[in-house]
Structure 1
Amino acid sequence: MGGFKALRTKDLVNVGIYSALYFICMGIAEGATTLLTGLLLPGFTSIFVPCVVGLLAGPVYMLLCRKVPRFGALTIMGVLMGLFFLVSGHFALAFIPYALCGLLADLVETVLAAADPGRRVLRDVSYVVFTFGSLGPVLPLWFMKNAYVASLLKRGKSQDYIDTLFSHISAPTLLACVALTLLGALAGALIGDRIVARHFSGQAGRG
């Protein structure tokens, strides 16, 4: 079991590689969701993006867990994803959820999973926890509207853009966003489990 052993240079390289792949999944998810919702459901992009991220990134996450069976890998990836939000112009506090969810997912995967030799269920739980970090850029839409609007204006966004963005922000859509994120993450975990089982069934799992 990898557990709390220190990350090696090879581990850090793998974390970098899989973080880059996860970042690509995020980019594809945002691009595809923006295109589809722009055509079919204008104003709903932010509600669906975390769900699609969860759906697409499962295999990357599961493979990272296989390749780097040590505490810290998921935390680092969460911090890197949060930094991506920070440097790409998202709301400043968007960094916090991914960093926090990365740490919590790492604890679930490394500590709690030690009690489960098969680890599939708890690994899926850790992926769901990690995926909720992708809510970082959208939660301020509901909880920090004034500050979020100010940040958009500072970035040069038009009032029409802002009005469209907030046109469907309500308590029901918050619940829908959380529910969709959960479903997307569960589906992504299932897909990731199957891919790993198919191609790595003869190898030892994380730990």
Structure 2
Amino acid sequence: MENSKLKVKDLVNIGVFVVIYFLILGISSMTFVFLGMTMVKSTLALLCFALAPFVTGIILGTPVILLMAKLQKPWGFFTFGILSPILLWLSGHNSFIPAIGGILLAAIAEFVLYLGKYKSFKAMLIAYACYNIWTMLPLADILFVRAKRVKMIQKMGLALVNNVFTTPNVLLILMFALVGGLLGALLGKKMLKKYFTKAGIL
């Protein structure tokens, strides 16, 4: 039981990975979001917004899967998973939706990993794909939070925002986030194949 508890070394690893994750998340997602805001056609704008969580999920798949493989302990991923949504909220994202949603998705991912006894790649695949959904929640804000929608209208115009940020389109962006997470996890497994063998991950 003692080996299943998080130790100082584990917490340090989690902290390092959170920094890496949050920096890459910010650079990758905001690149596509800013690009989307420059588009004049709704189809291209929607594509850019959908690519934000999709590409981010692929890029971050390897480091997150590596962290899962290194920890293999209860509450390890949950501890990691809640920090980025909280950091986003503390950094000035006034809406609570991404923070609460991120914490809930981290809990779901932790539960999936628990079912896989923290050694199943299938569990890691599902857990990461579910968790990556939180990366599109700041965009969902524009649909549900009036203040965010007003700010986006000021930047993109009323017609474009009304065409892009609809319920079906937000669900489409969610699906892009889910698929990006799946592809990112698969890429992570391929890149970490030798490490997975040594760690006894099935």
Superposition TM-score tier, normalisation by shorter sequence = 0.7 to 0.9
Is contact 1:2–1:69 with CA below 8 Å preserved after alignment? no
The counterpart of 1:49, out of the listed 49, 52, 69, is 52
Alignment of 1:29-178 (within 5 A): 29-34=28-33, 36-37=35-36, 38=38, 41-42=44-45, 45-90=48-93, 91-109=95-113, 111-114=114-117, 119-142=120-143, 144-149=144-149, 152=151, 159-161=154-156, 163=158, 164-178=160-174
The counterpart of 1:188, out of the listed 180, 184, 189, is 184
Counterpart CA distance in 1 for 2:197 and 2:164 is 48
For structure 2, the residue ranges without an aligned partner over 5 or more in a row are: none
1:203 aligns to 2:202 (yes or no): no
Partner of 1:28, secondary structure, is: helix
Q: CA deviation at 1:45?
A: 4.2
**Could you tell me the percent identity over the aligned residues?**
23
Counterpart CA distance in 2 for 1:89 and 1:161 is 21
Partner of 1:7: 6
Q: Report how many aligned residue pairs link the two structures.
A: 196
Q: CA deviation at 1:206?
A: 6.0
For structure 1, the residue ranges without an aligned partner over 5 or more in a row are: none
Q: For residues 83-133 of structure 1, what are the alpha-carbon distances to aligned partners after superposition, in whole Å with 9 as ceiling and x for unaligned?
A: 122022222322011111111111111x2102x96x121210111111112
- Name the aligned partner's letter for residue 148 of structure 1: K
Is contact 1:67–1:206 with CA below 8 Å preserved after alignment? no
Higher share of residues assigned helix: 2
- Name the aligned partner's letter for residue 129 of structure 1: C
**TM-score normalised by length of structure 1:** 0.81
Q: CA RMSD in A?
A: 2.8
